[in-house]
Amino acid sequence: EAGVAQSPRYKIIEKRQSVAFWCNPISGHATLYWYQQILGQGPKLLIQFQNNGVVDDSQLPKDRFSAERLKGVDSTLKIQPAKLEDSAVYLCASSPAETQYFGPGTRLLVL
Amino acid sequence: EDQVTQSPEALRLQEGESSSLNCSYTVSGLRGLFWYRQDPGKGPEFLFTLYSAGEEKEKERLKATLTKKESFLHITAPKPEDSATYLCAVQARSGNTPLVFGKGTRLSVIA
């Protein structure tokens, strides 16, 4: 069974630029999550989707971050404009029930 | 507020030297406690879910246990390939709540 796919794997941008990340969850998984993992920290939830509806986006900085899940499958996370403190790994996870399965992440460096 | 504290932050073991990692938690009604392994440059890999105090689960050299306030990940006769960061996370019982992660324990096993 294919795992969670994410792209790109690495991205370097200047502050105030915009960036987008893509996630393809495991087939059949209704729930999709985006996490931010800063170096030396555990992952922190940004947004949770159930099919194509948002369940929890309380930790998402909505002035600069946005996310959507197209047709309840793929998802994109966008940052516009980026700040230095957005440098982190952005992890996508999907789950059929309770257990979450993570993708490899996108490493973002904001200069 | 749900919280997870992991200790130690880092642990260095000789090959074959057994030890335990600790995860202390506070949560408003535990739905599940999760252990993940994370290798450098990769996303977290699911290991175990524990649901109630007294529960134990094993996988190869790893054994996870749960009490009402903490969980332990016991590593028996570790090998260098067990070197990784081990993350603990909790999910509260109420609603469709996200995982709350600790900062992880960075384990190094030296041959």
pLDDT tens column, B55-64: 999 999 999 9
CB contact under 8 A, B98 and A43: no
* Cis peptide, bond prior to residue A61, ω within 30 of zero: no
Q: What are phi and psi of B82, to 5 degrees?
A: -85, -5
What is the average per-residue pLDDT within A96-102? 88
CB contact under 8 A, A42 and B31: no
Q: Are A65 and A45 in contact (CB under 8 A)?
A: no
Contact B76, B15 (CB under 8 A): no
Q: From the CA of B49, how many Å to the nearest CA of chain A?
A: 8
Bigger pLDDT: A99 vs A111: A111
Q: Nearest Cα to A43, choosing from B45, B73, B57, B62?
A: B45
| CA A107/CA B41 separation, integer angstroms | 9
Query: Which residues of chain B have a pLDDT value below 50?
Result: none
CA distance B53 to B30: 10
